[in-house]
Amino acid sequence: MATPSFALLTLTVAAILPRRFDSGVRQAEQIDEKSALTAGVNAPRIAVLVPAYNESRHVLPTIACLLAQVDKQDRVVVIADNCTDDTAAQARQTEAIVIERTNPAQQGKGFALAFGVDYLRDDPPDVVIVIDADCFVTEGGIQALATVCSRTGQPVQIPSLMQAGDSANLRIRILEFAMLMKNFVRPLGSSRLGKVCHLMGTGMALPWTLIAQAKLATSNIVEDMVLGIEFAIAGHPARFLPEHKVSSTFMQDPSIVQAQKSRWEHGHMQVMTGYLPNLIVMALRRRNSALALLAIDLCIPPVALYFLLLCAGLSGSLLLACYWPAAYVPAVVTIMSALCFVTAIGLGWYVFGRRIISAAELISTPLYALWKLPIYIAFCLKKRSHWVRTKRKDE
């Protein structure tokens, strides 16, 4: 019960502290002017894979964003995976390469990526970058990802964030803040402590030598996180590049958002239960700080779930201490855990999240935890182990 709160506070404080922790990484990632002048010779060859399932309304802006950031030697490959709309036809209007895959028995992003990698095998690039079909990358992000990935030989991840939009209600903006904590603050902390982070599925760059050998064809809900853990175990932990970001927009329909969060959080909890024990053991046996930091981050359950567990634990331990004074230790530990949790959320909000929600709105976030209670009940009753695409508002 106590470990996640201490882990969250540690990563949050590390993210806030001065940048001396990652100055060496940042220096290695800088592209000087001379390198830029010889980019046509020395720059890595890039292939951007864009897995798309019925993304007709979103794929063109994404392709335009990517084509504006790649050179002539690079490729943007759209994988129209089991599409029943005109995603492929829309993508063919651009200079992107379009490949189609039809196999209803094997649905999921992992199968689409495996199909895309197989397509590249005849003319492999140096770096493969994965961008979801409804995402935008900040200017220069593609080249920065490819350069750092090529120079380090390691996977590289930029923050994957979602925007609530100007007209979004409080519930959606709380989700935006929660994603900011998970996909920016925590990986920034682990990066400054040990130059490592989890992969996030979109906005990630992988050396061809690694992705060509990876087991991608799976229906796992969070194949990206599993892939990052397996790379780290093999000695190739992902680097974090906070200067750029990849982003998309939340749907405004609460039922659609809840289904999306349900998929993410079910997958996260499955990875926790399936990988965390072994990751801890390997970190201890190898004395490997990268694996230890990944385990520290992975031990933090979805924040709303942890808040509910803390409330239950705090109530139970205080009640036990009232009737049995000798049992004060659980009450003290739970109170300390709650204080660490509140401090971590407060610091993260004050430094990074004040533009998203106000202080008064932050205080109301416990209601958000109650809204997500059905997600955790569903996980306990019936674990979701296969990929399910989030419905769009117009579907």
CB 79 within 8 A of CB 108: no
User: Can you read off the two tokens belonging to residue 66?
Assistant: 């990517």
Of the candidates 112, 146, 114, 123, the residue with the CA atom closest to the CA atom of residue 214:
114
Q: What is the CB neighbour count within 10 angstroms for residue 338?
A: 18
The per-residue pLDDT for range 294-344, each reduced to its tens digit, is: 999 999 988 878 888 888 888 888 888 788 877 778 888 888 999 999 999
Q: What is the mean pLDDT of residues 181-201?
A: 94
Dist CA 108 CA 93 (whole Å) = 25
pLDDT band at 175 (very low <50, low <70, confident <90, very high): confident
The per-residue pLDDT for range 32-89, each reduced to its tens digit, is: 333 433 444 478 999 999 999 989 888 999 999 999 999 999 999 999 999 999 999 9
List the domain boundaries for the chain.
20-35+43-252
DSSP annotation of 197: B
- Mean pLDDT of the residues in the chain: 84
CB 262 within 8 A of CB 376: no
Of the candidates 304, 155, 274, 121, the residue with the CA atom closest to the CA atom of residue 224:
155
Q: CATH: 3.10.400.10, 3.90.550.10, 3.40.50.150, 3.40.50.720. Which one for 20-35+43-252? A: 3.90.550.10
Locate all alpha helices (DSSP H) within 239-349, ordered by sequence.
254-286, 289-298, 303-323, 328-348
Of the candidates 101, 44, 54, 52, the residue with the CA atom closest to the CA atom of residue 75:
44
The per-residue pLDDT for range 233-270, each reduced to its tens digit, is: 999 999 999 999 999 987 655 556 566 666 666 677 78
> How many Å is the Cα radius of gyration of the chain?
21
CB 233 within 8 A of CB 225: no
